[in-house]
């Protein structure tokens, strides 16, 4: 979801910039109407984006996806972000929140599979 929202916001920003110019699509008589509609679209996107309670989950999922990894960090809008630090924090969050729980559950399952401890 994060990648979808990110792509939508970037696309809307690009189109908005072109609509505000005096040439190309910005010269069309319908440009002001389209800009007004786009502002409403951005408002709706922001409303739903803000409802994603744990936003790091979406970014972390994208980083773990072999098809996307850190491709989003190559975007110009991420130029002020320390990507290596974000990657490290994301990995640490995965280990603490997910991997450790899997290990604990696996250990718990193997101990019950062996039956009760001898007396």
> pLDDT for 21-68, tens place per residue?
999 999 999 999 999 999 999 999 888 877 766 566 667 777 777 777
Nearest CA-CA partner of 60 in 3, 118, 6? 3
What's the rounded Cα separation, in Å, for the pair 29 and 27?
6
Range of the domain at 6: 1-51
- The answer to pTM > 0.85 is no
* 3 and 23 inside one domain: yes
* 14 and 4 inside one domain: yes
* 64 and 39 inside one domain: no
* 37 and 73 inside one domain: no
* 29 and 18 inside one domain: yes
Range list of H helices, 20-52: 31-49
pLDDT tens digits, 71-113: 767 777 666 767 778 778 878 887 887 766 665 555 555 555 5
């Amino acid at each position: 979801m994060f990648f979808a929202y990110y792509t939508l916001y970037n696309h809307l920003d690009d189109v908005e910039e072109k609509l505000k110019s005096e040439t190309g699509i910005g010269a069309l008589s319908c440009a002001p109407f389209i800009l007004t509609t786009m502002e409403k679209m951005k408002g709706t996107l922001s409303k739903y984006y803000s409802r994603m309670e744990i936003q790091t989950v979406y970014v972390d999922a994208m980083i773990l996806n072999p098809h996307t990894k850190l491709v989003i960090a190559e975007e110009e809008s991420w130029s002020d972000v320390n990507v290596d630090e974000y990657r490290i924090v994301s990995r640490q969050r995965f280990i603490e929140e997910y991997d450790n729980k899997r290990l604990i559950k696996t250990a718990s399952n193997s101990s019950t599979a062996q039956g009760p401890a001898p007396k």
